[in-house]
Amino acid sequence: MTYRFLPFLALSVALAACGAVPDGIHATTPAGLSAVSLTAPLPALGAQGLPFDASGLAVVGTVRVKIRDANAQLMTFDGQNVYQSGGSQDSIVLTKTASSARVLLPAGTYTLESAGTAQTGEFLAYGQATLQNVDGGSVKLALHALLDPDGLTVAFPAASIAPDTVQDARLIVPTVSVNGTRLTVPTSDYSVSFTASSGSMLGGSKLGARMKSDNQSSGSVGVSASVQGWVATGPDTAALSSVSVSGSVPISTTLTAGLYEENNASFMYSGSWTRNPDHAPSHGGGDEYAST
């Protein structure tokens, strides 16, 4: 499994109907209905986030918006985004190749539920909005990237830690796998708190926790993370949930090379290390080191 760590910004998604109605077809609004536009460019950088692939393209390719009235009844349409009781269209389908959708609804208050999927069908993003007193205007629909509880990880940069030493434990908050790659959930779409289970915690952020081992030759350093983010509850629904994960490493005087991002200088050790020829690589490519 590949994890791709990219500099995400949360996005405000401007959604537009896949089969947007050409100008003129609904130039006049049917009696008893009001028009509302779902708009904003996609992709457009804003205050909320969605995952992007390595080429910078939005991974979410399709968004289906379901609209419910004040009694939680699903609204249906005539195939042209015009409300029709018992109509065959139960959602507004939006894609990143379109930019706006005009929807005709009876006056009232509505809840909009948006589910974003990748081109290959993976459910990656979700959002809710309330639409009050429909009488024209436009709405920008915000989406939140969904975290995958099975991929949530606390990763230390080595398989062990020296006594009285500081290491940064990295928090990995991924989406579900898309074509074998997990994308990183934007930091704007989750919050986290850390608790040291052994050793001392010197600080933390949404990216991880700085830990320090006790000055002893045995024991371990461990940290637990409680992450609050959006988690799928069905094929097109999600809820803000709390998920916990923990990680630890033993204290040892013989240390193992980094287990993640070994060639990334930001995760390399500070201090002096010499290669220990008596220890073979323990994780398929690195060498073990002894402190000097």
pLDDT in tens, 175-220: 999 888 888 899 999 999 999 999 999 999 999 999 999 999 899 9
pLDDT in tens, 151-174: 999 999 999 999 999 999 999 999
pLDDT in tens, 220-258: 999 999 999 999 999 999 999 999 999 999 999 875 555
- What percentage of residues in the chain have a pLDDT greater than 90? 50
Predicted confidence band of residue 39 (pLDDT cuts 50, 70, 90): low
- What Rg value do the Cα atoms of the chain yield, rounded? 24
- Whether residue 40 is predicted with pLDDT greater than 60 in this model: the reply is no
Among 11-15, 93-97, 276-280, name the one with the lowest average pLDDT.
Answer: 11-15
Residue 114 and residue 65 in contact, taking contact as beta carbons nearer than 8 Å: yes
Average pLDDT of span 88-96: 89
| pTM reported for the whole predicted model | 0.74
